[in-house]
Amino acid sequence: MPRMGFPERTTTGYADRRHAGRVLAQRMTGLDLVDPVVLGLARGGVPVAAEVARMLQAPLRVCVARKIGAPSQPELAVGAVTADGPPSYDQQLVRSFHLDERTLQAACERERAEARRRERLFQRGEPLPLAGRDVVLVDDGLATGATARAAVRMLRGSAPRSVVLAVPVGAPDAVAALRAEADVVVCVLQPVGFAAVGQWYRDFNATTDEEIFEILQDLDQP
């Protein structure tokens, strides 16, 4: 049941990630999905994904993709990597920092190891088979799109029927680029003045591991 007090639509932003998830879920009601599985990108995508999973009555799992930061600006993702599969790099950014994949290899392997650790941490029982199913990958927003791109490419290796990328807000250029990666991209807001995902949320506090555990446990209840 939606919480009272927040509209289930928006043109200016979201109260929090759960509100964003409810708005996003409404945008997805017309999709014809076969045996869907919802994957929330850890950490911030998981509360959003939980609302989508409830609407679709689909299982929720956690997907981990780690950004590979520029050496001089670690918060700027020049690429991203998942627990499995090749890293994904923004070649234009890599060149602008006078880098190459060899010089980023140590950072890549460090982030891959962390992705594997986090996947084990959030694993609920046996891994769900994805082959032949529609996989819905959810994040709280797209800035560069690096982590979403790496996750989509990893998911392709599981032979899903399709990969749907769903986000409440995204930079227009990142959304356009991801349309070449995912089968379907659902993005509620694509603001021309986009600067950061957090500017479109009133509450954008970091999602904790404990919150993720609580969300997964709550959705496991009959």
User: What is the reported pLDDT for 172?
Assistant: 97
Mean pLDDT of 42-51: 96
For residue 49, the one-letter residue type is: A
72 assigned to some structural domain: no
The whole domain housing 152 covers 17-63+119-220
Kindly tell me the burial class for residue 97, based on how many C-beta atoms sit within 10 Å of its own C-beta (0-12, 13-18, 19 or more): middle
10 assigned to some structural domain: no
68 assigned to some structural domain: no
Number of domains in the chain: 1
d(CA 143, CA 176): 12
pLDDT band at 221 (very low <50, low <70, confident <90, very high): low
The CA angle 137-139-144, to the nearest 5 degrees, is 110
Residue 93 scores a pLDDT above 70: yes
Mean pLDDT of 52-76: 91
Residue 134: helix, strand or coil by DSSP?
A: strand
CATH code of the domain in which 126 resides: 3.40.50.2020
pTM of the model: 0.89
Q: What are the pLDDT digits (tens) for 119-171?
A: 999 987 778 899 999 999 999 999 989 899 999 999 999 999 999 999 999 99
**87 Cβ contact list (under 8 Å, min separation 6):** 68, 79, 80, 81, 101, 104, 108, 112, 150
pLDDT band at 70 (very low <50, low <70, confident <90, very high): confident
